Amino acid sequence: MKIFHNTHHAQHAGRQEMFRGRLVDCHEVPDRLRYVLDELQRRPVGQLLTPDAAADVNAAMARVHAPDYLAFLARAWNDWVALDPTNAERDALPSVWPLASKHAFRTDAPPLNFAARLGQYAFDSGTPLTAGSWAAAREGAACALAAAQAVLAGDRFALALTRPPGHHAGPNYLGGYCFINNAAVAAQALRDGGLQRVAVLDVDYHHGNGTQTIFYERNDVFTASIHGDPRTEYPFFLGHADERGAGAGEGYNLNLPLPRGTGFEVWWAALQNAMQAVSDFAPQALVVPLGLDTFEGDPISGFKLRSADYLKLGQAIAQLGLPTVLTFEGGYAVAEVGVNTVNVLEGLRG
Ligand code: OKP
Ligand code: ZN
């Protein structure tokens, strides 16, 4: 299987994220990807590649993100430093937001102040934007596009091995450590490559709010997510079971929230339900936002999967019998994320 890895990922290295009133060290660190690459050296289950530089990644991103958002991201670091030259020493984090409440704030008269614009395009203060964030995120989209193209060309599986992750990024906002929604880029590229129906099965601990929102009113991309119950778990404001899609997309979104503390057996039963729904949709390809933060040792999550369970996850995905793109998402138990990721890939081989 082809593994497109992001050679620019380490350019995105946030220092601190806001958590409960203080700045804490970032969880989403370059070592996450290094551990996966180290494990791939030990167990070479795929072919490590980099995306074709000639591919039109800007066009692919523009299929799922708003042009003003992409333009904002492309120059965000320059604008951040222009706001105050000493900002170059600090990551950009938002601290003011337009609340979506009637008559409370205007969103049709965007401010010029960069700190305010960052708040306009972000939904949390846990996603530091650094000098290299755009370069890293954009190359991640190139990996997702390349993986989709490999599958369109006949490969059974392809992985976009990249960070920062993507599944929280929406049409015009960043958050949850995500800037560009790599899974959405891949799903849309599969559609644009001629496939009529594409399914997304998100197995990250956190609800894939960005992916859900991007495809919410569409019936050509079915989205399913198994995740910690948003009543207690991030991203809190989306991911409930009664969100089933809207308009033409009604019935084409499935959320399976589970309580914090859920172990493998109950999680596995939810996976079977999600896989049945995917099969019922009869997609021509599948995209799996692959989060490894369902692991029992994950420092910021609450499920209790063990390393051996990831082999079974890979086998289950393979049993769907679909051409499949995987995108690397969460997983913060840095030392184990490599083993758990490669276990999934090994499971895919049957
Ligand atoms: C991204 B992905 C922890 C606060 C949680 C956001 C979590 C984003 C997870 N101190 N902050 O879905 O793994
Ligand atoms: Zn996650």
Domain assignment present for residue 281? The answer is yes
Non-local (6+) Cβ contacts of 165 within 8 A are: 28, 176, 177, 178, 182, 204, 291, 327, 328, 329, 330
Question: How many structural domains is the chain composed of?
Answer: 1
Tokens read off for 55: 């591919």
* Residue 350 reports pLDDT greater than 90: no
Over residues 313-321, the mean pLDDT reads 98
Least confident of 102-111, 209-218, 245-254, 260-269: 102-111
Say which CATH number the domain at 165 has: 3.40.800.20
Overall average pLDDT of the 74-78 stretch: 98
Residue nearest ligand 1's atom 12 by CA: 206
Please name the amino acid found at residue 236. Answer: F
- Kindly report the average pLDDT of the chain as a whole number: 98
Q: Does residue 115 fall inside a structural domain? A: no
Domain range for 238: 2-70+133-348
Asked whether residue 85 is assigned to any structural domain, the reply reads no
Q: Answer positive or negative: Cα dihedral of 272, 278, 281, 282.
A: negative
Report the nearest-CA residue for atom 1 of ligand 1: 176
Percent of residues, the chain, with pLDDT higher than 70: 100
Q: What is the mean pLDDT of residues 31-60?
A: 97
What percentage of the chain carries pLDDT values higher than 90? 97
Inside any domain, residue 230: yes
Residue 176 Cα to ligand 1 middle (Å) = 5
User: What number is the ipTM of this complex?
Assistant: 0.97
Domain membership flag for residue 160? yes
CA–centroid distance, 235 to ligand 2, in Å, is: 9
In a domain, 35, yes or no: yes
Give the confidence band of 100 by pLDDT, cuts at 50, 70, 90: confident
pLDDT of residue 256: 99
Closest CA to 324 of 307, 308, 347, 298: 347
Nearest to 291 by CA among 188, 192, 199, 166: 166
Residue 7 in domain: yes
> Phi, psi (5° rounding) for residue 291?
-100, 135
Inside any domain, residue 122 = no
Residue 176 CA to residue 19 CA, distance in Å, equals 12
What would the pLDDT profile of 289-302 be if each residue is shown by its tens digit? 999 999 999 999 99
pLDDT higher than 90, residue 345? yes
Is 168 tagged catalytic? yes
Pocket test for ligand 1, best of 203, 293, 300 (most atoms within 8 A of CB): 300
Q: What's the pLDDT tens digit per position in 114-161?
A: 999 999 999 999 999 999 999 999 999 999 999 999 999 999 999 999
Distance CA(192)–CA(45), nearest Å, equals: 29
Residue 107 confidence class, pLDDT cut points 50, 70, 90? confident
Q: Per residue in 198-253, pLDDT tens?
A: 999 999 999 999 999 999 999 999 999 999 999 999 999 999 999 999 999 999 99
The mean per-residue pLDDT over the stretch 302-328 comes to: 98
Question: What is the structure's pLDDT at 327?
Answer: 99
The predicted structure's pLDDT at residue 73: 98
CA of 38 to the centre of ligand 2 (A): 22
| Token representation of residue 272 | 């079977």
Q: Which residues have any ligand 1 atom within 6 Å of their CB?
A: 19, 126, 165, 168, 176-177, 204, 206, 234, 291, 293, 300, 329-330
Ligand 1: which residue has its CA nearest to atom 3?
300
Tens digit of each residue's pLDDT (9 = 90 or more) over 6-26: 999 999 999 999 999 999 999
Task: For residues 68-96, give the mean pLDDT.
Answer: 97
For Cα atoms 197, 203, 205, give the angle at the middle one, nearest 5 degrees.
145
Q: What is the 3-state secondary structure (H, E, C) of the chain?
A: CEEEECCCHHHCCCCEEEECCEEEECCCCCHHHHHHHHHHHHCCCCEEECCCCCCCHHHHHHCCCCHHHHHHHHHHHHHHHHHCHHHHHCCECCCCCCCCCCCCCCCCCCCCCHHHHHHHCECCCCCCECCCHHHHHHHHHHHHHHHHHHHHCCCCEEEEECCCCCCCCECCEEECCECCCHHHHHHHHHHHCCCCCEEEEECCCCCCHHHHHHCCCCCCEEEEEEEECCCCCCCCCCCCCCCCCCHHHCCCEEEEEECCCCCHHHHHHHHHHHHHHHHHHCCCEEEEEECCCCECCCCCCCCCECCCHHHHHHHHHHHCCCCEEEEECCCCCHHHHHHHHHHHHHHHCC
Closest-CA residue, ligand 1 atom 13, reads 330
